Homo-oligomer: A and B are copies of this chain.
């Protein structure tokens, strides 16, 4: 930690500040210049000193506080140099050499709809069935999901076609219930900083997919993952789904640079959601290819037999035929970056 002092800082304050830094475990080097004086502190990790650092930042004689180390620990690549591979059982993994395809409807609507989609995506290389049972809707007058009925349908469809299940959980009170049916608990973009929910999924053992908040910095995203890990559950998959910018031609701006960046900072696998990331069916194929090319470990794609009758997000859902055509194109890209994309 480096404290940059304001001009004219009295010596007594410098002593006080040095003492405070020493109490925090820093070895303090005062460097007194003509224009600026700084107190440079060298010590261990700083992730557990955030409050103390913020206090110093508030000090009337301090111009700025510069922090040297990263604020997260358990999810950091420094902490665990090898990439984490999440094993979902039956040979399905996320973070290994194979790209993990996760596909399905935005929202579970009927048994028929779900079985049709599950059958098709299983045939076309998906390992994980996605589908919303509890839906976060911007409007209270919009469909909120079928709840437990949808969970049952998901489990049944997955079992029938040899798939794993991913579905969103929004309410800490529902974590236990959803964990009975799902192999991966999805924490959505709106809940990335819902700390009670993060703590709750961190206490369990189900794999967690943590979507990036729509205006979350990379560091904040990794800190949210740290909440889950700090609870004891390190089976975390990160999912980039586009961030909010000034651009309105796409629903979000998909930040593909986050993939190599996060993979250098953290050992966790990263998946891309090109459906939410663009909001436009006609862009999903291109961005799926881009995602694999930049190094993503998987894709989360919305598929619907009749997008214009989908209860939610039809505009960004691929048709079954489009999804089927996508797979061979993705296999070629995967192969060009030495990754696999096996059909079932």
Contact = CB atoms under 8 A, between A and B. Distances in A.
Interface of A: 2, 4, 27, 29, 31-36, 38, 40, 42-45, 47-48, 50-51, 54-60, 62, 64, 66, 68-69, 71-72, 136-144, 170-173, 190-191, 193-196, 214-215, 217-220, 223, 226-227, 230, 243-250, 253-257, 259-261, 264, 277-278, 280-283, 286-287, 289-295, 307-317, 329, 332-333, 335-337
Contact of A227 (B140, B256, B332): B140
A312 B54 contact: yes
Given A141-B47, A245-B246, A315 B57 contact: yes
A248 B45 CA distance: 22
B29 A35 contact: no
Contact of A58 (B226, B230, B314): B314
B191 A333 contact: no
B35 A31 contact: no
Given A71-B139, A289-B337, 20 more contacts: A35-B43, A35-B69, A47-B139, A48-B141, A58-B308, A58-B316, A71-B141, A140-B195, A140-B227, A170-B195, A172-B172, A190-B194, A215-B246, A218-B249, A245-B245, A257-B278, A260-B282, A260-B283, A286-B293, A293-B333
Given A247-B218, A261-B283, A333-B333, A223 B50 contact: no
A168 to B, nearest CB: 11
A246 B243 CA distance: 9
Given A35-B44, A141-B47, A246-B245, A55 B309 contact: yes
A308 B44 contact: no
Contacts of A218: 247, 249
Contact of A337 (B43, B307, B333): B333
8 closest A-B pairs by CB: A58-B314, A33-B42, A215-B215, A293-B293, A190-B193, A59-B308, A171-B196, A260-B286
Given A42-B36, A55-B309, A308-B56, A261 B250 contact: yes
A156 B196 CA distance: 27
A65 B269 CA distance: 29
A58 B281 CA distance: 9
21 contacts: A4-B68, A33-B43, A47-B139, A51-B312, A58-B316, A59-B314, A62-B308, A71-B138, A138-B193, A140-B223, A141-B230, A173-B196, A243-B245, A244-B246, A246-B246, A250-B261, A254-B256, A287-B294, A290-B291, A329-B337, A332-B336
Nearest to A141: B48
A16 to B, nearest CB: 10
A21 B33 CA distance: 15
Nearest to A191: B194
A196 B170 contact: yes
A295 to B, nearest CB: 6
Contacts of A307: 58-60
Contact of A243 (B54, B253, B287): B253
A287 B214 CA distance: 21
A314 B55 CA distance: 6
Contacts of A214: 215
A138 B142 CA distance: 31
A312 to B, nearest CB: 7
